[in-house]
Amino acid sequence: MAQIAIRMPKMSMTMTEGEVSEWFVGVGDTVSEGDVICEVLTDKVDMEVESPASGTISSIEIESGSVDVGTPIGYIEGDDSGGLGDLLSSIGDAASVPDPATQQEPTMTGSAPAPTTEPTSEPPTSEPTSEPPTSERAGGPVAAVPRARSLATDHGIDLANVDATGPDGLIVMADVRAVLPGSSQPSEVEAEPVPRGGTPAAMPSGTTSAASAKRTAQIRARVAAKMTASASVPQFTVWRDLVLDATGARRGEVSWTTVLLGAYAAALRGEPDLL
């Protein structure tokens, strides 16, 4: 049996760390591949982490707190024959695999040339798949949190037709709920009228409000950290004299602000790194 690492996943291109919020399993619990085992928080989205393999939770390294992307937060004792226990390592190993086109070359033995076998180009055989149409868009797989994918499957919703509001095109629970049959958009929800002379309904309290307050505090702390980091970025002003007589003659009733914005847009198309 192998010790399979549960690593902090990278949920967006800009994510460098995440915060372990809650574990849904404990040491000694048996899990199957794909089971939700914990929840992590980022400055953009809260997401459930699935088990990378089937087995038994052998240790939990990080009960809670922030860790860098790729850091092991726990371990599963199980069969790692599929190579899914350490995804980051497998990606690195894949990069070192030599190109099959350079592995074999025709050789000459004796006086007679060795017969060369040309690779036959066989079209890839497409095997029938039982995956629902919710797993692919026109440009590739659909990124969705596990609960959103499960909810879409239960209601027969094609995730390719769901507008994603999460980071980097990630579909979250709210996106699926918005397209459920009979669901109303947030703008259509009306507050329940309060009887004249009565009192408004009491707000939820207890563990729900405490968890909500904790998440709000965590998000605010991350926003404050980002704002503090941005304050260290040097700021300066560049002055340049430009002759815009020809532009002024052509712009007509268009404002100078519009002209400058057009120039900025053209510059960004040529130098996207300026964004």
Q: Which helix (H) or strand (E) holds 53?
A: none
Report the chain's C-alpha Rg in angstroms: 28
Region of residue 114 (left: phi > 0; alpha: psi -120 to 50; beta: else): beta
CA–chain centroid gap for 171, Å, is 9
Kindly state whether residue 272 falls inside one of the protein's structural domains: no
Kindly state whether residue 25 falls inside one of the protein's structural domains: yes
Q: Residue 62: what pLDDT?
A: 92
The rounded distance, in Å, linking the Cα atoms of 58 and 28 is 6
Comparing C-alpha atoms, which of 125, 109, 55 is closest to residue 85? 55
7 and 84 share a domain?
yes
In this structure, what token pair is assigned to residue 137? Answer: 């868009």
92, 113, 143: which is the final residue of a domain?
Answer: 92
The rounded distance, in Å, linking the Cα atoms of 17 and 9 is 9
79 and 145 share a domain?
no
Q: What is the DSSP string of 141-197?
A: EPPB-HHHHHHHHHTT--GGGSPP-SGGG-B-HHHHHHTSTT---GGG--PPPPPTT
Kindly state whether residue 108 falls inside one of the protein's structural domains: no
Domain at 72, CATH number = 2.40.50.100
Question: How many distinct structural domains can be found in the chain?
Answer: 2
**Residue 73, helix vs strand vs coil:** strand
Percent of the chain at pLDDT above 90? 13
Domain at 171, CATH number = 4.10.320.10
68 and 140 share a domain?
no
Kindly state whether residue 217 falls inside one of the protein's structural domains: no
- The per-residue pLDDT for range 167-217, each reduced to its tens digit, is 777 888 888 888 887 765 544 444 455 555 555 555 555 555 666 677 777
Q: Given pLDDT bands bounded at 50, 70 and 90, which one contains residue 42?
A: confident
Contacts of 45 (CB under 8 A, 6+ apart): 11, 145, 166, 167, 170, 172
Span 33-47, average pLDDT: 85
Kindly state whether residue 78 falls inside one of the protein's structural domains: yes
Q: What angle do CA 95, 12, 173 make, to 5 degrees?
A: 125
17 and 79 share a domain?
yes
Comparing C-alpha atoms, which of 71, 73, 76 is closest to residue 62? 73
To the nearest 10°, the Cα dihedral for 14, 229, 44, 75? 70
Kindly state whether residue 53 falls inside one of the protein's structural domains: yes
In this structure, what token pair is assigned to residue 257? Answer: 């602000």
63: pLDDT strictly greater than 60: yes
92, 125, 152: which is the final residue of a domain?
Answer: 92
Tracing tokens 């002759």 back to the chain, one arrives at 243
Q: Pick 58 or 135 by higher pLDDT.
A: 58
Single pTM value for the model: 0.36
Kindly state whether residue 154 falls inside one of the protein's structural domains: yes
Kindly state whether residue 58 falls inside one of the protein's structural domains: yes
**Residue 31, helix vs strand vs coil:** strand
- The per-residue pLDDT for range 215-270, each reduced to its tens digit, is 777 778 778 877 787 778 787 788 888 888 888 888 888 888 998 898 888 888 88
Span 78-84, average pLDDT: 61
186, 220, 255: which is the final residue of a domain?
Answer: 186
- The per-residue pLDDT for range 95-122, each reduced to its tens digit, is 444 555 445 554 454 444 555 555 555 5
Segments forming the whole domain that contains residue 33: 2-92
143 and 61 share a domain?
no
In this structure, what token pair is assigned to residue 17? Answer: 């760390």
Name the amino acid, one letter, at 193.
Answer: P
